[in-house]
Amino acid sequence: MSKWSARRKRFRELLAGGECLNPGSVFDPMSARIAEHVGYEFGMFAGSTASMTVLGAPDHIVLTLSEFAAQCQRINRAFSLPLMVDADHGYGNALNVMRTVEELEIAGVSGMSIEDTDLPPPFGLAGGQRLLSREEGIGKMKAAVAAKVDPDLVIAGRTSAVAIAGVEETIARVTAYQDCGVDAIFLVGLKTREELDAIAPHVKLPLILGATPAAIDDKGYLAERGVRIALQGHHPIRAAQQAIYATMRAMRDGTHPRDLEGLPSGDLMRVVLAEDDYDGWMKDYL
C-alpha cells in the first residue's frame, strides 16, 4: 500500500466517523508540519490560500492547475496527514475536471472538492456568482468520479446553491450529485439551522461545510446532521501575513533584531524544518 493510499483510507475513516472535525488550514510545507505537530487530524488547502501563497493574488481563479498541483505535492511531501483540497471548478469543463483529478491524485491528495459555480467569473457579473446548469454540474461530478484511479480518493461534490438559488435547488443538486457516485457533499453558503435542517435529510453521504456562521457553529448539532468536516476559515495564512509585515516594519523602522517580538523558539524551528530527521540522515549517510 502506498503512503498516499494509507492517508486516503485514514481520511475515509474520519468521514465515516461520528464526529464533526475542523481541519488545519495549511498553505505550504511549514504550515503543514505545524498542523501535524499541534494535533490536527488532517489538513485543508484552499484555492484562495493557494492564490495568496503562489501568486500573491486574490481568489479570482487566476491560479493554474499545474501551480496548484505543485503546491499540493510540496505540502504532502512535508507531512503525513491526509490533505483535503479545494479544486475549485476543476479548472475548466468536465474534461479539465478529469485532468484535475489525475494531477491531484498523483500529487498525493486524499480528497478534493469540485464545485458547480460558473468560474472564472464571466463578463458582466460584477463580482457576483452564478451556478452552472444542473446538467453541466452533473457532467463534472461524473467526470471526476470516472477519472480517479485509487478508489480511496475522495471526491466531494460542492455547491453554493443554497446562497445563490435557495434550498429547493440545493436539494435537487445534492440528490443528483449523490447519484453520480461522489463520496461526500460540500455545502457553501449556509446561514441558518433551518437551511441545514431542510437539506440534511436528503444527504446520504458525509457532509462538509464551508464557513460555519455562529448560528450553526455547534459541533454536536452539526454531527447529528451528518456534518463530518466544518471549515473555520483560513486564518493561519492571514496571521502569517501580519507577522511578516510587523517584523519587516519594525526592522525598517530601526528595531534591532535582538529586540524583535513574536519570533519562534529554536524548538519550534526544529519542528518546522524537520531538523531531527535531517540530523539523523546526515549521521547515517554522511
DSSP letter for each residue of 22-71: PPEE--SHHHHHHHHHHT-S-EEE-HHHHIIIIIS--SSS---HHHHHHH
Give the domains, in start order, of the chain with CATH numbers. 3-121+132-239 (3.20.20.60)
Contact 140, 176 (CB under 8 A): no
Per-residue pLDDT in tens (0 to 9) along the chain, 286 residues: 689 999 999 999 999 999 999 999 999 999 999 999 999 999 999 999 999 999 999 999 999 999 999 999 999 999 999 999 999 999 999 999 999 999 999 999 999 999 999 999 888 887 789 999 999 999 999 999 999 999 999 999 999 999 999 999 999 999 999 999 999 999 999 999 999 999 999 999 999 999 889 999 999 999 999 999 999 999 999 999 999 999 999 999 999 999 999 999 999 999 999 999 999 999 999 9
Q: What's the confidence (pLDDT) of residue 193?
A: 97
Strand partners of residue 25: 44
Neighbours of 190 (CB within 10 A): 24
The three three-digit cell numbers of residue 197, written as one number: 435542517
Q: What is the pLDDT of residue 93?
A: 98
Residue 208: count of CB within 10 angstroms of its CB: 26
pLDDT of residue 128: 81
pTM check: above 0.85: yes
- Inter-residue contact 8 to 246 (CB < 8 Å): no
Between vectors from CA 208 to CA 102 and to CA 202, what angle results, nearest 5°? 110
| Residue 211 · residue 233 · CB < 8 Å | yes
Beta partners for 57?
A: none
**pLDDT score at 136:** 98
Question: What residues pair up with 264 in beta bridges, in sequence order?
Answer: none
Q: What is the pLDDT of residue 141?
A: 98
DSSP output for the chain: --HHHHHHHHHHHHHHSS--BPPEE--SHHHHHHHHHHT-S-EEE-HHHHIIIIIS--SSS---HHHHHHHHHHHHHH--S-EEEE-TT-SSSHHHHHHHHHHHHHTT-SEEEEE-B--SPPTT-TT---BPPHHHHHHHHHHHHHH-SSTTSEEEEEE-HHHHT-HHHHHHHHHHHHHTT-SEEEE-----HHHHHHHGGG--S-EEESS--GGG--HHHHHHTTEEEE----HHHHHHHHHHHHHHHHHHTT--GGG-SSPPPHHHHHHHTTHHHHHHHHHHH-
| 246 neighbors 263 (Cβ within 8 angstroms) | no
Query: How is residue 36 written as a grid cell?
Result: 501535524
Q: Could you tell me which residues are beta bridge partners of residue 157?
A: 114, 185
